[in-house]
Amino acid sequence: MALSDFLEQLDQLASSAEKAFQEAGDASALDEVRVNFLGAKNGQLKSVQKEMGAVGKEDRPTAGKKFNECKTRIEVAFQAAKDRLGDPAAAKSSDPGFDMTLPGHEFHLGRLHPITQTIEELKDIMGRLGFSVADGPEIEDERHNFEALNIPREHPARDPLDNFYLGTAQKAQLGHREENPLLLRSQTSTVQIRVMESTPPPIRIISLGRVYRPDTADATHYPMFHQMEGLLIDRQVTMADLKSVLRLFARSYLGADVNIRFRPSFFPFTEPSVEADFSWNDGWIEFGGAGMVDPNVLRAVGYDPEEVTGFAFGLGVERLCMRRHGITDIREFYKNDVRFLEQF
Ligand code: DAH
């Protein structure tokens, strides 16, 4: 075939394809035109390509170049028609482009630490029994941590090895220059003193917060833990009131069938003093100390022990939470392991 004929044929093919693509009125017409010109088996472009073999060898490069131009013109026309009519594949389906069956994005909500949750619940229970919440500092002086609580200077509880006393440099940082030593409070009983110092009786408070003792961490000890302190001061308060309040508390927090038992004990700030046990399954578990506020403590804050009496108690918050949830190692609370924390 003469080169000029071949080139002429290509021009005509491209022109008629351009016209046909322009005239296609909808997606199915467009598809027909596409098959007619660009179809891989019997499309016109394909047939013309086959005829290229009939062109003389020396004319092949010119013919090939023209063929490519023609092919480009047809493809451009097809693309333009597609843009004008919309993609037939997309037009055919009602797919909104959104697959509702795909798993969604999971947002991890933070949650309150189990000890914080326990504290909130304890406040709630004791609030219903008429106790309001009082607060005190974690860095304390010896008066509030020991002296006013009837713990004299020679008492072993004041041993520097059993307490976190602040060093000179730490006190200087706090702008504290006095001789009065400071320590991280070892018990929340400090708050009893602070409240009684600033409030006349009657008093009915709880205080929840951190306390610090240099214990080696093991399954039941940690150098920082939380206590709930309770204090009730009024006229004619008795041990029976103490027992009722602790029993009501135990039943609210642990279950209606929980019982409570007192064992004689000793604390410098209560007289008489008891250890309070709560029944659990078939046994008894020690939950903390309690007793009638010692007259020396009442005097230390300026109350008259002939006028008012009261009871106090101190319970371990971690221990309560561990019992409720079957946690066997206190260290779990403070590892910051999300796999543990997210269970609450
Ligand atoms: N402060 C005591 C402790 O940390 C607990 C305690 C016992 C508190 C008897 C009290 C109490 O208020 O009356 O071991």
The answer as to whether 108 is a domain residue is: no
Tell me the average pLDDT across 251-259.
92
The answer to whether position 315 is within a domain reads: yes
Mark which of 93, 123, 156 sits at the end of a domain. Answer: 93
Judge whether 107 lies within some domain: no
CA of 202 to the centre of ligand 1 (A): 20
182-184 and 260-267 strand pairing: unpaired
Residue 94: the pLDDT is: 60
Whether 139 and 218 share a structural domain: yes
Are 267 and 328 members of one domain? yes
Whether residue 189 has its Cβ less than 6 Å from ligand 1: yes
Is 291 touching ligand 1 by the criterion CB < 6 Å?
yes
Asked whether the beta carbons of 12 and 6 are under 8 A apart, the reply is: no
Q: Do 257 and 310 fall into the same domain?
A: yes
Q: Give the amino acid at 325.
A: H
Please indicate whether residue 294, judged by its CB atom, sits closer than 6 Å to ligand 1. Answer: no
pTM: 0.70
CA 90 to chain centre: 44
Tens of pLDDT, residue by residue over 261-280, are 999 999 999 999 999 999 98
Given a cut of 80, whether residue 344 has pLDDT beyond it is yes
User: Is 106 a domain residue?
Assistant: no
**Are 16 and 80 in a shared domain?**
yes
Average pLDDT, the chain: 92
Q: What's the length of the chain?
A: 344
140 and 283, same structural domain?
A: yes
Q: Is 270 in the pocket of ligand 1 (CB under 6 A)?
A: yes
Q: Mark whether 207 and 76 lie in a shared domain.
A: no
**Which residue is associated with the tokens 């047939």?**
47
pLDDT tens, 51-82? 888 888 899 899 899 999 999 999 999 999 98
Instruction: Please give the share of the chain, as a percent, with pLDDT higher than 90.
Output: 73
pLDDT digits (tens, 9 = 90+) for 216-246: 999 999 999 999 999 999 999 999 999 999 9
The contacts of residue 117 (CB under 8 Å, 6+ apart) are: 344
Q: Are 313 and 242 in contact (CB under 8 A)?
A: yes
DSSP letter string, 42-82: T-HHHHHHHHGGGS-GGGHHHHHHHHHHHHHHHHHHHHHHH
Kindly tell me if the per-residue pLDDT of 89 is higher than 70: no
Q: What percent of the chain has pLDDT over 70?
A: 97
Question: What is the CA 10 to chain-centroid distance, rounded?
Answer: 71
Residue 243 Cα to ligand 1 midpoint, Å, equals 15
Q: Which of 93, 128, 156 is the last residue of a domain?
A: 93
Residue where a domain terminates, one of 93, 128, 151: 93
pLDDT of residue 1: 76
Return the CATH number at 140.
3.30.930.10
Q: Into how many domains does the chain fold?
A: 2
What is the band of 95 on the pLDDT scale with cuts at 50, 70, 90? low
44 assigned to some structural domain? yes
Query: Is the minimum distance from the CB of 21 to ligand 1 under 6 angstroms?
Result: no
What mean pLDDT comes out for the span 277-294?
91
180 pLDDT tier (thresholds 50, 70, 90): confident
Mean per-residue pLDDT for 74-102? 77
Residues 146 and 268 in one domain: yes
DSSP letter assigned to residue 28: H
Question: Is the domain of 282 the same as that of 144?
Answer: yes
Distance 157 CA to ligand 1 centre (A): 12
Atom of ligand 1 nearest to the CA of 229: 12
47 domain residue, yes or no: yes
Judgement on whether residues 225 and 140 belong to the same structural domain of the protein: yes
Do 51 and 177 fall into the same domain? no
Q: Is residue 66 part of a domain?
A: yes
- Could you tell me the pLDDT band of residue 178, with boundaries at 50, 70 and 90? low
**For residue 167, what pLDDT is reported?**
87
Residue 88 pLDDT exceeds 60: no
With cut-offs at 50, 70 and 90, classify the pLDDT of residue 84: confident
Is residue 321 included in any domain, yes or no?
A: yes
Query: What pLDDT digit, counting tens, does each position of 106-150 carry?
Result: 888 889 999 999 999 999 999 999 999 999 999 999 999 999 999
Instruction: Characterize 146-182 residue by residue with b for buried, 16 or more Cβ atoms within 10 angstroms of its Cβ, and e for exposed.
Output: bbbbbbeeeeeebeeeebbebeeeebeeeeeeeeebb
State the residue range of the domain holding 52.
3-93
Instruction: Report the pLDDT value the prediction gives residue 105, as an integer from 0 to 100.
Output: 86
* Rounded CA separation 246/241 (Å): 9
